[in-house]
Chains A and B, each alone.
Chain A
């Protein structure tokens, strides 16, 4: 698959403060973009804007590619892993992923059990998510990336609460996703295995 995400002239205003003004960038298949910057610089807001969850003051976001229709809403091609894990504590990890597979899948995707195996959580698939540790919950949330195939991954501090082995596994998954032609935009403070990626440093808020 080959695709390109284009952000043109984007201005983000939040709570009366201009976080980002006139931002332009492009992410192509196989590319990754690291968003860095101080707390409050607008990294999360930019990710949410690309995911269609925050309305920019101005600017346009578009995605185009081989198997993407014209005028397609970029949010439908994107996965968003934010600060909250979007998991229901009363449901098992498997039930949570079953639901998200049904809700988000448009093309292919792994079976929820395979996705859990990919984040090394197959042994707790039937435990309620409320019983899992913060890191395990995070890994369950990351398993969502595999149950529904979407070309653009928007990751907000994806390594929070992950142990070293899980971080390495995430880095491998991200490399595999890029090798398949996927795109990644990640906001992070720590190195997360995307050292070859382009970096977009968001400036001090005005």
Chain B
């Protein structure tokens, strides 16, 4: 079972790298969102620094959704999902491996790029560190929650939008605690730790529960 897990993780990472989507595409999309915001708001550095964490979090949320609709759809279309049903590994494990690969290929580059993009929004030292920490802690929740939507829409041709509609409401708590932790990292007025710990709890809970929901959705495809 561990062998399948590792093989699937490696295969998905390799696919993400080869199809030219994955990492670079997400980061470029992230960059574009961050770049156009100051044009919309105007060059007020104080305002930008105050809403910077929120902008970066929203951009990260949208960039995570990129490609998430193909998470199971690609395997469903080419028949790979059928064969994964016929392997030793339970579907929950398959879902977990695919989510971790998606997180590594799409979200990890966002976390690494976030400090750089934060500079463009006039964030400073501690705020940048806080932002990276919250993205690192919070993006797994986005990926795993997204997997539920991806599994539900796996058999739909144009399921991307429906998936976003299903998932975005579920992502609201992650966004609230992610942004409040990231904002308080730069300012001394509110504590950083409580929202950050809740964010970690949200990530851990979705990593533990979402694979079961997504696997149930994938099983129902076989009826």
Binding site for B on A (CB under 8 A): 48, 51-55, 75-76, 78, 80, 82-88, 90-91, 95, 98-100, 102-104, 106
Contact = CB atoms under 8 A, between A and B. Distances in A.
B88 interface: yes
Contacts of B77: 84
B55 interface: no
Nearest to A74: B86
Given A76-B88, A80-B83, A103 B18 contact: no
Contacts of B7: 98-99, 102-103
Contacts, number: 72
A78 B83 CA distance: 10
Nearest to B74: A88
B85 A88 contact: no
A54 B8 contact: no
Interface string B13-33: 011001100000000000000
B19 A90 contact: yes
Contact of B83 (A83, A91, A103, A106): A103
B80 interface: yes
Given A52-B85, A104-B86, 17 more contacts: A54-B222, A55-B222, A75-B86, A76-B86, A78-B86, A82-B79, A82-B82, A84-B82, A85-B78, A86-B80, A86-B83, A90-B15, A91-B11, A91-B15, A98-B7, A99-B11, A103-B84
Contacts of A102: 3-4, 6-7
A190 to B, nearest CB: 21
A84 B6 CA distance: 24
A99 B78 CA distance: 15
B interface majority secondary structure: helix
A99 to B, nearest CB: 5
Interface of B: 3-4, 6-8, 11, 14-15, 18-19, 77-80, 82-89, 222-223
Kindly list the 6 A-B residue pairs having the minimum CB-CB distance in the complex, ordered from nearest.
A84-B79, A102-B7, A86-B79, A90-B18, A86-B80, A103-B87
Most chain A beta carbons < 10 A, residue from B14, B18, B77, B87 = B87
Contact of A88 (B80, B86, B88, B223): B80
A54 B11 contact: no
A88 B78 contact: yes
A53 B11 CA distance: 23
Given A84-B79, A88-B80, A102-B4, A53 B14 contact: no
A157 B27 CA distance: 44
Contacts of B4: 102-103
